[in-house]
């Protein structure tokens, strides 16, 4: 690994949006020569009746993720905001999270991607990016059927909304049993973007209602957000 690779730092770029804009964002990612991209299907936490009443369309959501060199993170956020009109009704949000411990192959792919990218010169800076410790991503993993309870607790503590991902637990059953845990295979992961000052209250509310001592068997964590666009 050469000195250039050692000195570079990286971020995880995350976009949460509707399926139509996700298709457009996928093309943006490809044109930006980002070598690693993931797309997940998810859903918003508002009921379809409320979405229809407000004219916000479907609650179906897509999550796009890609690792990017840190120096391209803000550039990509600005590009997504400009081309997807993030911040408008029924658009989406995008944010970056610091990454550590990338394997050598991925690291070399990202270095090459940065060298070939023309984003620095071609993207016009638009608006302000909220960064540093202004926002955090709260992640709650609970048994299936309890995402509504998570959001009830989170909203009572000041959260405005969230996104639900359906998943499957693949942990060691013997280890879980040794801790007195009975883990359902099907899980729901709730993602909540929140102001950092509300983090403790929201996490405490979720833990009290949906923690490991409850039927939800929930685990809650928070990740610092480097920058966010679309709020």
For the segment 142-197, what is each residue's pLDDT rounded down to a tens digit? 999 999 999 999 999 999 889 999 887 665 566 556 555 555 668 899 999 999 99
CATH number for the domain spanning 199: value is 3.30.70.120
Does any domain span residue 230?
no
Write down the pLDDT at residue 101: 58
* Res 72: pLDDT: 85
Q: Is residue 228 included in any domain, yes or no?
A: no
Same domain, yes or no: 85 and 10: yes
In 10 A of CB 141, how many CB atoms? 20
For residues 13 and 117, state if they share a domain: yes
Q: Cβ distance 229 to 95 under 8 Å?
A: yes
pLDDT at position 79 over 70: yes
229 lies in some domain: no
Q: Of 127, 151, 175, which residue sits at a domain end?
A: 127
Based on the domain organization, do 80 and 158 belong to the same domain?
no
Stretch 193-214: mean pLDDT: 93
Q: Which carries the bigger pLDDT value, residue 62 or residue 118? A: 62
Domain end residue (candidates: 81, 100, 127): 127
Domain holding 196, by residue range, is: 135-223
Identify the domain boundary among 73, 104, 127.
Answer: 127
Q: Are residues 152 and 67 in the same domain?
A: no
Question: What is the pTM for the complete model shown?
Answer: 0.74
- 110 and 12 inside one domain: yes
The domain tally of the chain equals 2
pLDDT-derived band at 21 (thresholds 50, 70, 90) equals: very high
* Percent of the chain predicted with pLDDT > 90: 38
Q: Based on the domain organization, do 139 and 174 belong to the same domain?
A: yes
pLDDT band at 51 (very low <50, low <70, confident <90, very high): very low
What does the chain look like in DSSP terms, one character per residue? --HHHHH--EEEEEEEE-HHHHHHHHHHHHHTT-S-EEEEEEEESS-HHHHHHHT----EEEEEEEEEEHHHHHHHHHHHHHHHTBTBTT-EEEEEEEE----HHHHHHHHHHHHH--HHHH----S--EETTSEEEEEEEEETT-HHHHHHHHHHTT----EEEEEE----HHHHHHTT----SEEEEEEEEEEGGGHHHHHHHHHHHHSTTSTT--EEEEEE-SEEE--
109 versus 69: the higher-pLDDT residue is 69
Confidence at residue 102, expressed as pLDDT on a 0 to 100 scale: 53
- The reply to whether 53 and 117 lie within a common domain is yes
Per-residue pLDDT band for 34 (boundaries 50, 70, 90) equals: confident
């Amino acid at each position: 690994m050469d000195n250039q690779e050692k000195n570079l730092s990286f971020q995880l770029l995350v976009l949460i949006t509707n399926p139509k804009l996700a298709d457009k964002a996928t093309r943006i990612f490809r044109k930006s020569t980002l070598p690693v991209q993931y797309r997940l299907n998810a859903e918003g936490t508002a009921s379809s009746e409320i979405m229809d009443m407000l004219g916000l369309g479907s609650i179906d959501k897509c999550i796009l993720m890609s690792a990017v060199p840190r120096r391209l993170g803000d550039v990509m956020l600005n590009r997504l905001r400009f081309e997807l009109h993030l911040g408008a009704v029924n658009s989406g949000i995008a944010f970056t999270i610091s990454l550590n411990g990338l394997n050598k192959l991925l690291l070399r792919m990202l270095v090459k991607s940065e060298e070939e990218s023309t984003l620095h010169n071609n993207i016009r800076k638009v608006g302000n990016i909220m960064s540093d410790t202004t926002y955090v991503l709260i992640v709650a993993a609970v048994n299936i059927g309890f995402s509504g309870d998570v959001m009830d607790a989170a909203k009572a503590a000041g959260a405005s909304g969230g996104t639900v991902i359906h998943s499957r637990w693949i942990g060691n059953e013997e280890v879980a049993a040794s801790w007195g845990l009975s883990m359902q295979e099907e899980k729901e992961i709730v993602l909540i973007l929140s102001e950092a000052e509300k983090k403790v209250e929201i996490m405490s509310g979720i833990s009290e209602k949906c923690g490991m001592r409850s039927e939800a068997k929930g685990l809650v964590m928070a990740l610092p957000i480097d920058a966010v666009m679309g709020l």
